[in-house]
Amino acid sequence: MSNEKVDMFCWQCSQTAKGSGCTVRGVCGKVPTVARLQDNLIYSMKGISAYNYNANVLGSKDPEIDEFLTKGLYSTLTNVNFDAEDLVNLALEAGEVNVKVMRMLKDAHIAHYGEPTPVEVQVGSKKGPGILVTGHDLKALEELLKQTEGKGINIYTHSEMLPAHGYPKLREYEHLVGQLGGPWFDQKEIFSKYNVAILATSNCVLLPKDEYKDRIFTMDVAKLPDTPIIENYDFTELINKALELGDLEEEETKTFTTGFGVNTILSLADKIKELVTDGKIKRFFLVGGCDSPHPKATYYREFVENLPEDTIVLTLACGKYRFNDLDLGDIEGVPRLIDMGQCNDAIAAVDVALALCDLFDLGLNELPLTIVLSWMEQKAVAILWSLLYLGKTDMLIGPILPAWANDDILNILVNNYNLTPIGDPKEDIKKIMG
Ligand code: SF4
Ligand code: SF4
């Protein structure tokens, strides 16, 4: 098979080249950059839809978000929009809408479960039967916690469900005992290792291995072939499976600290201002995004490990699992590693950045703040466009560049926003710190 890059690919209408797909230029006249910008818009809208769905589950809706999704999708129909500049503007509008939907979701989480506060989460198994919950649906976790109360079943989070521990109303359940594993892509190993019932509530679920396909359940949008589906939050079958599987053994645990909400960070505002003014904090780094199994993703750990001690690292989403076991200590009581949650909490990072702008009376690009993004799938694309919409420049992106970014798109990103692919961690730090 050839490794040659396809410049474009579109087979959405019956004019398509040779009846198989337009791969050089569209029979309709669509040029590769337009095709890629249409893909980019679709991917951004997929990310927005994920946030929107999670917010809708909690009863929060905004017609403007739905209207944008309809307009954006319509723009990618055959023979509608051949204008590259307009498609860039639509991508920026997607970024704006994504800020709105992320905020709507965060507000819904806080309204239902309280403002997150920092918490140490035990990582490892406890004695007793267990259920492992993965995905982003906090309502599913809450319903499960209610239905398992007093049944002697330990509930664990996995990957993107880790921030649940930060929410006071979920933490009230004593049988929410901890976390098993790390990022989404360790699930085949972790789900095989621990003989528990598993509940996949949303995206980032993988096709199961034989070892556990008879004990994994899905719900909502998540579906796997030949595995049971939970309907109407009735977890009876899942609970019975957990009890039937029997006890896990107690194992030695480590801890992750998560749950830094915006208010917790802002409660440190005066101290942060003093430390920055006194030169004791030189720079903030926001290092996060989706994690990917790509070999180059080791960059993110090396990057954080090599940062000078007068820097603070804000992190969120699966990207944090690359380094959230590191003990970076603190600067006069301000932790050097601050985990603000998962991809569903990305608005917290935006709000902290905007609060820092207010605190120092500086624009977003004047702040001593560098964003180092890792992208893997469509939520990360939506977040990237949110940051571009907010006017953030000089970001680093990796572990590889999005495949839809051909030279034309890359030129827009580099020329307008000075977006740079990640390089060597130490060299990148040297360049940033000057
Ligand atoms: S929309 Fe244009 S590029 Fe796409 S398949 Fe039809 S002719 Fe080809
Ligand atoms: S950060 Fe990305 S990879 Fe991780 S759970 Fe969210 S969408 Fe999935």
Tens-digit pLDDT profile for residues 354-399: 999 999 999 999 999 999 999 888 999 999 999 999 999 999 999 9
Q: Looking at 26-164, which runs of residues are DSSP E strands?
A: 119-123, 130-134, 154-157
Spell out the SS3 assignment of 381-425.
HHHHHHHHHCCCCCCEEECCCCCCCCHHHHHHHHHHHCCEECCCH
Closest ligand relative to 159 C-alpha: 2
With contact defined as beta carbons under 8 Å apart, do 386 and 96 qualify?
Answer: yes
205 Cβ inside 6 Å of ligand 2: no
Q: Does pLDDT of 19 surpass 90?
A: yes
184 Cβ inside 6 Å of ligand 2: yes
342 Cβ inside 6 Å of ligand 2: yes
Q: What is the mean pLDDT of residues 73-94?
A: 97
Which residues are CB-neighbours of 123 under 8 A, at least 6 positions away? 178, 179, 180, 181, 253, 254, 255, 256
Nearest-angstrom CA–CA distance, 400 and 405? 11
Angle formed by the axes of helices 378-389 and 84-113, to 10°? Answer: 100
Q: Which of 6, 9, 13, 20 to mutate to test the pocket of ligand 1 (most atoms within 8 A of CB)?
A: 13
Closest ligand relative to 17 C-alpha: 1
Closest ligand relative to 79 C-alpha: 1
119-128, 284-293, 403-412: which has the minimum mean pLDDT? 403-412
For residue 361, the SS3 value is coil
Q: Give the pLDDT of residue 4.
A: 62
Q: Does pLDDT of 412 surpass 90?
A: no
Angle formed by the axes of helices 236-245 and 138-148, to 10°? Answer: 60
Q: Nearest C-alpha to atom 5 of ligand 2 is from which residue? A: 160
DSSP type of residue 295: G
Query: Amino acid identity, residue 229?
Result: I
Q: Nearest C-alpha to atom 2 of ligand 2 is from which residue? A: 290
- Band of residue 161 on the pLDDT scale cut at 50, 70, 90: very high
For residue 214, the SS3 value is coil
- Band of residue 1 on the pLDDT scale cut at 50, 70, 90: very low
Cα 160–39–298 angle (5° rounding)?
A: 40
Pairing label, strands 311-316, 283-289: parallel
Q: Give the pLDDT of residue 405.
A: 85
Q: What is the mean pLDDT of residues 397-423?
A: 90
Mean pLDDT score of the chain, rounded to an integer?
95
10 Cβ inside 6 Å of ligand 1: yes
Question: Measured in angstroms, how far is the CA atom of residue 83 from the centroid of ligand 2?
Answer: 31
Q: Give the pLDDT of residue 259.
A: 92
With contact defined as beta carbons under 8 Å apart, do 103 and 354 qualify?
Answer: no
161 Cβ inside 6 Å of ligand 2: no
Cα 155–157–159 angle (5° rounding)?
A: 165
Buried b / exposed e over 78-96, threshold 16 CB at 10 Å, is: eeebeebeebbebbbbbbe
Q: Does pLDDT of 270 surpass 90?
A: yes
Evaluate the CA torsion angle 129, 132, 138, 139 in order and state its sign.
negative
30 Cβ inside 6 Å of ligand 1: yes
Q: Nearest C-alpha to atom 3 of ligand 2 is from which residue? A: 290
- Band of residue 404 on the pLDDT scale cut at 50, 70, 90: confident
Q: Give the pLDDT of residue 79.
A: 96
Neighbours of 208 (CB within 10 A): 22
Nearest-angstrom CA–CA distance, 250 and 39? 47
78 Cβ inside 6 Å of ligand 1: yes
- Beta bridge mates, 132: 156, 198
Which residues are CB-neighbours of 352 under 8 A, at least 6 positions away? 262, 265, 266, 314, 340
Paired tokens of 154? 């330990």
